[in-house]
Amino acid sequence: MASGKMVAIVTGSATGLGSAAAKMLAGKGWNVTINYTKSKDEALATEAECRKLGAETLLVQADISKDEDCRRMADATIAKWGRVDGLINNAGTTIFKAHSSLDAINAEDFQRIYAVNVIGSYQMTRAVAAQMKKQGKGSVVNISSIAGVMGIGSSIAYAASKGALNTMTLSLARALGPEIRVNAVCPGFIQSRWLRDGFGDEVYEAAKKGQEANTPLKRAGTPEDMAEVAVFFITAASNVTGELLIVDAGMHLGGAPLLAR
C-alpha cells in the first residue's frame, strides 16, 4: 500500500537513541518501522508513542547480523508503504572490557561485534538501496561512536568496529550517490541504561560528573541529543553526505573522562 508520508526504518529502536529517533520522526509526520531483537515490551511502548504522535508503524523483530532478517524488514516496510526514505542504523552491541586486558577479548567477541555493528549496517543499507535508488532519493545514517574516532569506549573490539563503520560510511557515500546520502553520528557519553549496566554505577556516575564539569558545554548527553542529529541527517542536510559528526558536548577537545557510547 503506497503512502503519502515519508517512511523510515530505525534499527534497535526499542530503547535509547533508537527509540528517541523513531519518536522524533513520528512527530515530524513520518511513518516508522520499529525494530527490536529481544526487548519486545519496550518496542511496543515505543510503537504506542509513535502512534500517539500520528504515525503509522510497523513492528519487526529482526537480528540485523542476519542478512535474511535485514531483507525481510526492508521488504515488509516497502510492502506496507511502497517506499523507504530513511534508514537509521542504530542497532549495535559491545562487551565491556578494559582496553588493557588484551586476553579478555577473543576472536568470537570481535566477530559478534563486527557482525552487528559493521556487517549488519551494511546489510541493512544494501536491503533498502534499490528502493531508494528507484525513488531517486534516500538517506542513511549510521550511529557510530566517538570510540571509533578516538579509540576509547567499552572495549577495543567496539572501538575498532566503530572505526570500521566510519570508514564504511565514507565508502557508501561515494558508492550510493547521487540518489542516496550516507552520514554517521558519533555520540560521546549518553545518559543511558546501556552504559550504566555496562560500566556499573560508580564508573557511570563518575563519567557523567566529568562530562558536566569538564566539557565545554558542561553537560552529559541524552538519547534525544543524539537522535536529533540523526533525524537532521534524515530529514534535512540535503547537500551533505560522507559526514562523520561528533556529538559529545566537546569531550573530544579533552578534559573529560573518556567513556563513550
In the structure, what pLDDT confidence band is assigned to residue 195 with cuts at 50, 70 and 90? confident
pLDDT top residue among 227 and 206: 227
Q: For 214-232, b where at least 16 C-beta lie within 10 A, e where not — what string?
A: bbeeeebbebbbbbebbbb
Is 214 inside any structural domain?
Answer: no
Residue 73 pLDDT greater than 90, yes or no:
yes
> What are the phi and psi torsion angles at 161 (to 5°)?
-65, -40
pLDDT at 3: 59
Tell me if 213 is assigned to some domain: no
Strand partners, 120: none
| Whole-number pLDDT of residue 207 | 87
Residue 203 forms part of a structural domain? no
What is residue 184's predicted lDDT score, i.e. its pLDDT?
98
Confidence band for 187, pLDDT divided at 50, 70 and 90: very high
Is the pLDDT assigned to residue 258 strictly greater than 60? no
pLDDT at 13 over 80: yes
Residue 190: strand pairing partners: 221
Q: What's the whole-model pTM score?
A: 0.94
* Angle ∠(225,206,190) on CA atoms, nearest 5: 15
- The total domain count for the chain is 1
In-domain check, residue 216: no
Residue pLDDT, tens place only, 157-171: 999 999 999 999 999
* 166 within some domain: yes
Residue 201, in any domain of the structure: no
CATH number, domain at 17? 3.40.50.720
Band of pLDDT at residue 2, cut at 50, 70 and 90: low
Cell numbers at 214, concatenated:
569538564
Contact between residue 141 and residue 243 where contact means Cβ atoms under 8 Å apart: no
Which amino acid, one-letter code, is at 85? Answer: D
Omega within 30 of 0 (cis) for the link into 187:
no
CA distances to 109, 213, 245 from 27, rounded to whole Å, are 38, 33, 23
- For 86-132, the pLDDT digits (tens) are 999 999 999 999 999 999 999 999 999 999 999 999 999 999 999 99
Residue 194 belongs to some domain of the structure: no
Residues 6+ apart with CB under 8 A from 240: 181, 183, 233
Strand 86-89 to 31-36 pairing:
unpaired
158 is a catalytic site residue = yes
Range of the domain at 101: 7-188+222-248
Residue 209 lies in a domain: no
More confident site: 57 or 254: 57
Cα distance between residue 208 and residue 69, in whole Å: 36
Average pLDDT over residues 218-244: 97
Q: What is the widest separation between alpha-carbon atoms in the chain?
A: 53
Angle of CA points 85, 164, 162, to nearest 5°: 80
Helix 107-114 vs helix 156-176: crossing angle, to nearest 10: 30
Marked catalytic residue, from 36, 114, 122, 158: 158
Is residue 256 pLDDT above 90, yes or no? no
Interval 67-96 mean pLDDT = 98
Cα-based distances in Å from 218 to 35, 142, 207:
33, 26, 12
